[in-house]
Amino acid sequence: MKKSRLEAFSDGVFAIAITLLVLEIVVPHIEEPGELGQAILDLWPSYLAYATSFLTIGIMWINHHTVFRQLGEVDHRFLFINLGLLMCISFVPFPTTLLADYAWGGNGEAAALTYGITLTITALFFNLLWRYAAWNNRLIRHDADPREVDGISRAYLPGPFMYGGATLVALVSPEASAALYLAVAVFYVGSSSFFGREEAAL
């Protein structure tokens, strides 16, 4: 298995998962004239959930490249850890729909918890993927910059804790939890744009 093929396949799964997110936004069924406008505005939780998951998957795709750029080769265990990561990414449209449909209502807790658990497990897989590759430079290419490799190791560490924390917030306030998921993504885009560093990863 060449690294480039694995990267192309992964890119495909990222691109499809991110584009399927729109299917979550269901066109309202309106009979009365003039009521569609309000119904479209009432879908704001769907737009928020769409933006949150789109940015999050987009950032994870960027991080995936940050990992792969440091690799010299891949082995079988790496292949399956990557498959597990893709299984999480592909799953995201389901909790996204949960978040859109229920986060702002009486069932918000279960929706925000499910969304947060999904992202936390995804962040754990990202750490596993990177640490498996970086352990004793197992799969790192020979001309990689050690400081860059260490920088990525440090940068990926907080991800599961951040998402785990936002998940726990759901027990107190599902709305705050949903806002935090979006805030994490927007904060990452902002800081990464400002500092211009890819390893400021989530």
Report the interface residues with a copy of itself, using CB under 8 A: 1, 5, 7-9, 11-23, 25, 27, 30, 32-37, 40, 50-51, 54-55, 58, 61-62, 65, 75-77, 79-80, 83, 86-87, 90-91, 93-94, 97-98, 101-102, 105-107, 109-111, 113-114, 189, 192-193, 196-198
Residue 3 buriedness (CB in 10 A; 0-12 / 13-18 / 19+)? middle
Q: Closer CB to a copy of itself, residue 100 or residue 180?
A: 100
Cα 84 to Cα 74: distance, rounded to the nearest angstrom: 15
Crossing angle of helices 108-134 and 44-69, rounded to 10°: 10
- DSSP at 137: G
> Min. distance of Cβ 125 from a copy of itself in angstroms?
13
> Min. distance of Cβ 43 from a copy of itself in angstroms?
9
Cα 23 to Cα 25: distance, rounded to the nearest angstrom: 5
Residue carrying structure tokens 């769907």: 46
> Min. distance of Cβ 1 from a copy of itself in angstroms?
6
> In whole angstroms, what separates CA 169 from the centre of its chain?
18
> Min. distance of Cβ 157 from a copy of itself in angstroms?
21
Q: Closer CB to a copy of itself, residue 30 or residue 161?
A: 30
Q: Closer CB to a copy of itself, residue 22 or residue 161?
A: 22
Q: Closer CB to a copy of itself, residue 25 or residue 149?
A: 25
> Min. distance of Cβ 25 from a copy of itself in angstroms?
5
Tokens of 82: 């990557």
Q: Closer CB to a copy of itself, residue 107 or residue 161?
A: 107
Tokens of 202: 């989530």
Q: Which residues contact 139 (CB under 8 A, 6 or more apart)?
A: 71, 72, 73, 74, 75, 78, 132, 133
